Every structure is written in structure tokens, then in C-alpha cells.
Structure 1
Amino acid sequence: MPRPKSPPRLQRRADRPTDAERAAGIVRYNWVIRDGDKYVRTGCAEADRSEAERKLAEYLGEKHDPVHRNSASAELEIADILNVYGREKGPDTARPAETASALLRLDAFWGKMKASDILGPTCRAYTEHRGRPAAARRDLEVLRAAVKHYKREYGMEAEPVFTLPPKSIPRERWLTRDEVAKLVWVCYRSKGNDKRLHLVRFILIAVYTGTRHDAILRLQWMPNTTGGWADLQSARLYRRPALTRETKKRTPTIRIPDRLLAHMRRWKKQDQGILNVIHYQGRAIGRLEKSFRSAREDAGLGEDVIPHALRHTAITWLMQAGVNINEVSGFTGVTTEELQRTYWHHSPDFHSSIATARMSRKPRI
């Protein structure tokens, strides 16, 4: 009977010596991964065992095939489901970095469990482990999407049922024009050369267009594959990177409002070759919660004023101005159903026919 094949493992092997080392009798050892008759170099010296073990773990992860077609949920590891989703769908999600972070958190808690272990008690245990119900819900939605993707692509005998925390109450905080003016003013008058000018740009783009936080930060002056871009000649704002598909978080192309267009033309002249519309001394900005929080405090606004509140503000102002709901939907990327549910009461047309209706004194029977 042939001997069973040993799994991939680390092995110490003498490296090829230089002429000087050979003359001096010096022998250097490195770690290699032995996989049957194959040897894979790790680039790790003998003293660097921990790094060699990390390289071995990476090798095993690449070698392992997470796909098990038409498996029973009791046999299918959640780690494999997350692995497949991260590899096949993660890069195409609306926020790949946030999806990757969620997959890591999920794997730390669920990775060693089977798909059949996704039950009400374990979902509630994860919610308690995560700490905040809203954050747990977002993570569990990623896990549910991963399970659905796996079943759709490779089959699964029984799809687990998820128990998610209830949705959080939607934020309805929007800013008045005086509050926005105060926020912009404290940014202009902050100490230090152009300390908060990037915030001024962010605030104005947000309240004039209702564009999402991350989409604004990725805007550039030229077409690119990482974010949208502003075409000032045609007054168009392309909010989606070139050669990318639309996602559930819609980012339609829009016409730049005239007042904002004047600002943006001035900004581009000031930038002189800088690519990003929102930047700090020429450097791109990933997130701006800290600087926004500081400006908000200086303006005397409450903690409920967050960057996303500016998107609510833009939509609310459009509804208050009586703009047609279909135009608002096409401009902001919000569905008409969501507009009716969350913002319609701001419109001057809200229940207008009821307000002006003349009721008969004697109801007809």
C-alpha cells in the first residue's frame, strides 16, 4: 500500500552559497514549503520562522478549493462561503473595502461553523458580539448575500434562515440654509492656511447635488477608473467610475447646478494640475469624519449633523422647492418609493388636494 501523501509543510533547506560563503564554509538555511515533490520558496531566513508560517498559511489558503457543489448545509463551512463571496463578488460591491472588512469580522465569528448553524440564537449571539444592532445587521446582510450567492452558483441543499436585528429608525435630520451657511463660514474662517477649504468643497457639492459621501471624495477633474469626474465644459457630473456597472446605490450622471458650476470652475483654476476635486494640500482624502465633526462643533450644531445629513438636506430642499418627484429621483438616485416614504411631506404638493377639498355638509349615502 502506498504511503499517504503528507500535507504541505515547512522545511529547512540550505540555500545556494556564494563563492565567498563557499570558501569560508558558511551555510545559510532558508524555509521552503514542501508540497509532495514540489518545493516553494518563501524568501524567509531560518530565523524568520513566524513569517514563514504566515507564507505557509497563505499557500494553504490558495491551494484550498472552497467550492463544494450541491453540499448539505450541515457539511458546508461558512468560511468557504465567505471565501467564495469575497473572491467572486466582493470587488464588484458598492463599497469593496467595507465588504472586505465585514467578511473578516464574519469569518472571525462564523468561520468554523457550518451553514446549518445559521439560526436565530447564533444570529442574536452575533448581534450581542458586535455590540451595535445596526452594525450587526449590516454584517449579517453581507453573510446572507454570501449564502445566496453560493447557493445560486454552486448549489446548497437547504438555505438557512436569517434572523436580523430590526432596521434602525431612518435619520431625518436635514439642515436649514442658515445652518449650512454657518457651517461653511466656520470652515472659511478657521485658523491656518486652507485648513478646511476641502470641507467647503465637500459641503457645497453635497447640498447642491445630494451625492453620497464616498462618491464626492472620489471625484476627479478627469475621467478615471476609481471615481466619478466633473466635466465643466458640458456641466455634467459623472458620479460613477468609468467602465463600471451601476449598483443598488445608484449614482446617475447629473447636470451640475449653475451656482455650483461657478464654484467648481474657480476650484479647478486654483488646483493647477491636482486630480482630486476634494483634497487636502494636494493629497486625496479617504474619510473626513474627524474634520467634519470639528467644524460641526465650531458651528454649534448637534451630533446628529453628520456628512450623510447633507444628502438628506439636498433632497429635502428639492422637495420643498416643489421639484417633480421623478426629477428628484433621477437627480439623486433615490427611488420614488423612498422619496414618497421619507421626503414627500416636505413637498408643497403634499396632500394638497385634501387641504383644498370642500367637504359636503351632508354626506351622500
Structure 2
Amino acid sequence: MEFWEGRTVADISRETCRRFEQQRGRSAGTVRRELGVLRASINHAFREGRLTRTVSVRLPERPEGRDRWLTQAEALALYKASMKEPRVRLHLPLFILIGLYTGQRKEAILSLRWAQVDLRAGLIDFNTPGARRTNKRRAHLPVPPTLHRRLRRARERGTELGFVVHENSQRLKDIKRGFNSACIRAGLANVTPHTLRHTCATWLMQRGVSIWEASGYLGMSRETLERVYGHHHPEFLQNAAKALN
């Protein structure tokens, strides 16, 4: 707001977008998201007839995808550390397991209710009933056996309509503080709740799961999965290497 306040749409150009990026002093990914919102707002105003034309909003280059994922030993260390955190030990371990075994985003896990979990059929629907679908797709997937056992035990402590991951039956607004504390206890650096999604995607690729099936399980586009995680797949570029043998 400090940069754009007082300017009109006519002032938006490649040069002003460059200056905004310099003055903002944040990562290219952050600036790209913010300018993306500006571009979407302009396009919306044009469609609604409030502007006679659109203007071009220059976005920084898309940053490389993060490649930080957890090994099995690191994941186990994080899980054990989460159980030693007194305030969060009743919900943080479950959050970590759901993240590792389903690869869903933090918000999808925190908003998950027991009504969306069918333990008898072994299915989870991460799509909140009645909520508008967005580009951040949520999956409807089978529950892995290890997670199924943990969910059954957690279900005995909850209510049928309550949140799966909760604190005193209340929905958690965020889990960052307890998660960071567990990472420090486990000796892990550069790990966030979103790292659990990276880890699940990486493990699926390393175990040779097809791109088509893994993308459906994660609720991720095949293009993104192949671009960011495809190099972990055991068959990555193998045909090309064999052709040169």
C-alpha cells in the first residue's frame, strides 16, 4: 500500500512493477503473489465495466520449487518430538501423521471434520461441504493403514461433528508455533508444515507411483508434480539413458 497509494491504474507499467519489487524487499515468490492479486483485481474491474481497458502487470520469474523434504528418520524424529511438547501433544502428532500420509495442505487438515472421515470405508474427503472449490484442489482419498489406526484412536476422543485436529474441541487457527518448537526439539532446519506435503509427494515418487495416480492422491496437477518432484521418480529419464547405451 505504501508504494501503490495515490497511483491510478494508468500508472501501472513494467517499470513501476520493477520498482515495487525493489522497494518491497521480499522474496520473488511473495512479490509474484502480491502482483498476481493486483493483476486479478484489474482484470475483474475490467470485466465488471469499471475500467475501459486492462494494463499489463509484470510478474517476477516464478521461483524454483522448494526441494526440502523429510527422510524417514527425520519424519520419525519430528513425530517423537511432537509428543514431547506438553501443550500440543494431543493434536500435533496427529496433524503430522495426516500431513505425511495424505500430503494435504495445512488449511485442509485443520478444517477437516469427522463427518468427512469414513473410517468404515477407509476414506477421507478433504473437500469441506458447501465450500467453494478453488484452484487449490483437495483430494478424496483412501486412508493408509497406519493412519487409519491412529484416526480410530483419535476418533474415540472426539465428537462426530467436531474437528479431527483440535484443541479442547476448538478448531485450531494455526499450528505453526507448536510445529516450530517440535522441529527445534528434533534438530530440523528449514521445515514448515508445508514440508509435510513436499515429503509425501517425494515419497510417492521415490516409491515409483505413477504421476497420474500420485497427482490424484495429492490433489495436485500432473504438470506441477512432474515439474517439482518428477526427478525423484526411479524411472526419471531412464528411457533417455537407455537409448544412449
TM-score for the superposition, normalised by structure 2: 0.91
Residue 349 of structure 1 is matched in structure 2 by 235
1:273 CA drift (Å): 5.5
2:121 to 212, 222, 234: 234
1:131 to 13, 18, 25: 25
Residue 118 of structure 1 is matched in structure 2 by 12
1:175 CA drift (Å): 0.3
% same residue = 38
1:266 to 130, 143, 153: 153
Instruction: Write the mapping of 1:289-308 to structure 2, written as runs, cut at 5 A.
Output: 289-302=176-189, 304-308=190-194
- Please tell me whether residue 161 in structure 1 is matched to residue 64 in structure 2: no
1:307 CA drift (Å): 0.8
Alignment RMSD: 2.0
Kindly provide the amino acid, as one letter, of the partner of residue 135 in structure 2: K
Is the partner of 1:307 in helix, strand or coil?
Answer: coil
Judged with a 3 Å threshold, the aligned counterparts in structure 2 of structure 1 residues 164 and 353 are, in CA distance, closer, same or farther, namely: closer
Count how many residue pairs are aligned between Structure 1 and Structure 2. Answer: 244
Residue 244 of structure 1 is matched in structure 2 by 131
Unaligned runs of 5+ in 2: none
1:111 CA drift (Å): 4.9
Is the partner of 2:64 in helix, strand or coil?
Answer: coil
- Please tell me whether residue 217 in structure 1 is matched to residue 103 in structure 2: no
Post-superposition CA distance 1:18-70 (Å, at most 9, x none): xxxxxxxxxxxxxxxxxxxxxxxxxxxxxxxxxxxxxxxxxxxxxxxxxxxxx
TM-score for the superposition, normalised by structure 1: 0.62
Kindly provide the amino acid, as one letter, of the partner of residue 351 in structure 1: L
Residue 76 of structure 2 is matched in structure 1 by 181
1:150 to 16, 38, 45: 45
Q: Of the two, which has the highest radius of gyration?
A: 1
- Please tell me whether residue 202 in structure 1 is matched to residue 89 in structure 2: no
Is the partner of 2:157 in helix, strand or coil?
Answer: helix
1:283 to 167, 170, 176: 170
Judged with a 3 Å threshold, the aligned counterparts in structure 2 of structure 1 residues 123 and 355 are, in CA distance, closer, same or farther, namely: closer
1:207 CA drift (Å): 0.7
Post-superposition CA distance 1:98-132 (Å, at most 9, x none): xxxxxxxx5x6535322111123332333344330
1:356 CA drift (Å): 4.0
Judged with a 3 Å threshold, the aligned counterparts in structure 2 of structure 1 residues 358 and 147 are, in CA distance, closer, same or farther, namely: closer
Greater share of strand: 1
Is the partner of 1:264 in helix, strand or coil?
Answer: helix
Structure having greater relative contact order (Cα 8 Å, sep ≥ 6)? 2
Judged with a 3 Å threshold, the aligned counterparts in structure 2 of structure 1 residues 353 and 165 are, in CA distance, closer, same or farther, namely: closer
Unaligned runs of 5+ in 1: 1-105, 223-228, 360-365
